[in-house]
Chains A and B, each alone.
Chain A
Amino acid sequence: MILVKALSKRFGDLLALDDVDLRVGAGEVVVVLGPSGAGKSTLLRCINRLTQPSSGEVFIGGERIPDTRSELRRIRSHLGMIFQDHNLVERMSVVKNVLTGRLAFMPLVSSLFQVFPRKDIDFALACLKRVDLEDRAWTRADRLSGGQQQRVGIARALAQRPRAILADEPVASLDPASARLILDDLRRAAHELGIAVVCNLHQVEYAREFADRIVGMRRGRVVFEGAVPDLDEAALALIYPGPAGARSVGPA
């Protein structure tokens, strides 16, 4: 579903992404592991063009990510993204935040006047139900806990009926219980709805629990790729150089 070919990104002297190839199938959860600064975020942001890559190509469902703006919007509308800080609009209600995932599919003018098609509202509520928050639909987003806000972030991505979801450190600022709940939601949605998921994490244990496949990055390069059992000490040493004890507890 997601195909990344020879993707590179240079920031001045820094080669943040160095010739990265990646393939993610429908319904597959790929976890990208790596230390801070390895290029994980840049990889995701180059896939949906929040950052313009220096070279390389990205295909979503066989369709090349285009350069023209309106075409890019169309592709993005089927690409969900989940952020570390959830990036909800805090003053809006939960359901309206989820509805923003459907904006690209609504008539422009009426949406600007806050008129939403009934079917979109119903679908937004269904997405909230999926993350078990339908009873908080009409609460203001900033009244929810951090973990709940991130689940609203997932619902917003699901509201796009995405072919793929890019999750950038979705649980980095959450306690383990909330983190597992969120990764579980994400994984279930991917498997049930056939969504390709690329999820950046820095905790090895979460990666082992939730990934179908793991990609390890270091200094902009893919240094490991394999199934969960393949992630042994040798693989970890490639991804995280330095003393072995420091590995499983990555920086927040």
Chain B
Amino acid sequence: MTIVYGRPLRRRTAVAVAAVVAAAAVGLTWSAGQLDLSIGELVRGLPWIGGFLRRMWPPHWGFAAGLVRPVLETVQLALWGTLLSLLLAMPLCMFGARNVSPHPALFHLTRQFFNALRGINEVIFALLFVSAVGLGPFAGVLALSVHGAGMLGRFFSDALEDADPGPIEALRATGAHPLQVLVFGLLPQVFPTWIAATLYRLEVNLRAATILGMVGAGGIGFELYGSLKLFQYQDTVVCVIVILAMVMATDFMSTRLRARILER
């Protein structure tokens, strides 16, 4: 007895799959050429990488003393960036949720706005804001806030759309004011998701804040970039270790906190 799992590919499907695979192969090969992908080049470069790593050793631990202030600034950047994006996203998400938005046009507009903010990387925003408000952490805060507002706005709107319509209808039926329906019927349903998304955003912002310094927008990235430019690789490695420790500590705490909030 023959057992057939699933249905056999029909000829048209088979031809389509073959065409997609062939097109992908051609496209990727061409791209590899454009990108100068070369294993030989990598192998030839290995000694250089080795030398680079050797020159990092031993770490110049004394450099860490000067990193206290930049580390603090990085954390402050992440906190303020997250706070401001939260404050921007909370009102905006109401217009970006199909079930809350006062008008379909406003819904689409808000969603596109979120997409635009999300589509542009923090570093690019940082470059823009550096030229607007000058070098320094304020530009970084603005960059994180604006990009994060798009991210959180999208998350928040999705959570609103996923809310159970039943309690909302029940509240409308009691004659409650639309704002009361929002506060009592909708927000209790989405708060855990919102808080978890914000905490996750804090993790991401901390990682982003470590590189904003490279474009002069504050944080520990400035020290990292500076030590690289001055060929002080023993300082660089200290920066990298400090960044790793900071990011891992935040991820560890935030992940546990998020799990606890979501299980409630």
Contact = CB atoms under 8 A, between A and B. Distances in A.
A91 B189 contact: yes
Nearest to B192: A91
Nearest to A75: B175
Contact of A103 (B167, B169, B184): B184
A104 B175 contact: yes
Interface string A86-112: 011111100010001101100010011
B188 A92 contact: yes
B173 A79 contact: yes
A76 B188 contact: no
Contact of A81 (B173, B177, B191, B192): B173
A156 interface: yes
A87 B180 contact: no
A202 B139 CA distance: 65
A79 B172 CA distance: 11
B218 interface: no
B174 A100 contact: yes
A55 B180 CA distance: 30
Contacts of B189: 89, 91
A94 B220 CA distance: 49
Contact of B170 (A74, A87, A91, A112): A87
Given A100-B184, A103-B180, A103-B184, A89 B167 contact: yes
Nearest to A96: B184
Interface string B147-179: 000000000000000000011011111111101
A76 B175 contact: yes
A78 to B, nearest CB: 8
A81 B179 contact: no
Size class of the contact patch on chain A: 20 to 34
A83 B174 contact: no
Interface string B170-205: 111111110110011100110110000000000000
A108 B179 contact: yes
A87 B172 CA distance: 12
Given A83-B166, A100-B171, A103-B171, A91 B176 contact: no
A50 interface: yes
A71 to B, nearest CB: 10
B180 A108 contact: yes
Given A103-B180, A103-B184, A111-B180, A88 B167 contact: yes
Interface string B240-253: 00000000000000
B173 A112 contact: no
A75 to B, nearest CB: 7
A200 interface: no
Given A83-B166, A83-B170, A103-B180, A89 B188 contact: yes
A76 to B, nearest CB: 4
A217 to B, nearest CB: 21
Contacts of A50: 169, 172-173
17 contacts: A50-B169, A72-B175, A77-B175, A78-B175, A79-B173, A89-B171, A89-B185, A92-B188, A100-B174, A100-B176, A101-B174, A103-B177, A104-B174, A104-B175, A108-B177, A111-B183, A153-B170
Interface of B: 166-167, 169-177, 179-180, 183-185, 188-189, 191-192
Given A87-B170, A92-B188, 7 more contacts: A77-B175, A81-B170, A89-B189, A92-B184, A96-B184, A104-B180, A156-B170
CB-CB nearest 3 A-B residue pairs: A77-B175, A76-B175, A87-B170
